[in-house]
Amino acid sequence: MLSYMAGTKITADVQDLSIVRANVAWAAAAYAQRVNGAYLKPERNGYKTVSEDDDRVANKFIMKEAMFDTPTVLTEEDYAVGEAARDYHSKKLMMTTFSRELSDFERTLTRAVGMDVFTESDRYELAIIASQIQSYNTSVQEDQAVAGIGEVRGYVAGVGERVGFECLILSKRYNYNYNTYSVRGITLDGYRVQFFLRDDAIAKGQTVEFKGTVKKHLDNITIFNRVKKGN
């Protein structure tokens, strides 16, 4: 059943005076991730629960309750994870600025990471922070997998060449615009690759042989098209 949460109208005469330090906000995000075991958000705006058939409360609402009402539920581990996630994203965003212009989302995340205190009126920044614990966990796992292989700069082959390659699947996400999966990986000799593939069987963490045509080179990533799984 969907749980509706009525919006609170903020006026010049009614100010939210509850101020929470950043370390508490990030710890609360880690707590929400720990409670749900994943990052969950409502399917419809204005509702606290995930969907009509899913009564789990979305992370951002668990996070806000812990921040502003029940901070005693936060553990030392929550504070440690929150601090590590904030530091990780801060350093990653800084490194990104050296190679390209930040996206709108990354600029907002940069602002959220740099904020020292929050109030309940900082809805957008808090919602972004709520999503970044899972992003941090995923990134750490990916970094560990890449380190195990050893990343190198360069590309698998020249643009237009059709070649075989064996890679570790780092992520696989369904792209609804193209009705297929967007796959990112790293070859066993250390090159980053990216491609679309209609294959339900492959999964993150698998090492799979493929064959594809190099479409382009982009930021040290070989982009393939017409990819097929090898025999």
The residue whose two tokens read 């309750």 is 65
**pTM for the structure as a whole:** 0.72
Rounded-to-integer distance, Cα 221 and Cα 154, Å? 8
CB 67 within 8 A of CB 118: yes
Q: Which domains are present in the chain?
A: 20-147 (no CATH), 162-229 (2.40.50.140)
Q: pLDDT tens for residues 3-60?
A: 544 444 433 333 445 899 999 999 999 999 999 999 998 887 778 888 888 889 999 9
Rounded-to-integer distance, Cα 33 and Cα 81, Å? 10
Extract the runs of DSSP E, i.e. beta strands, from 14-157.
20-21, 49-51, 54-57, 117-118
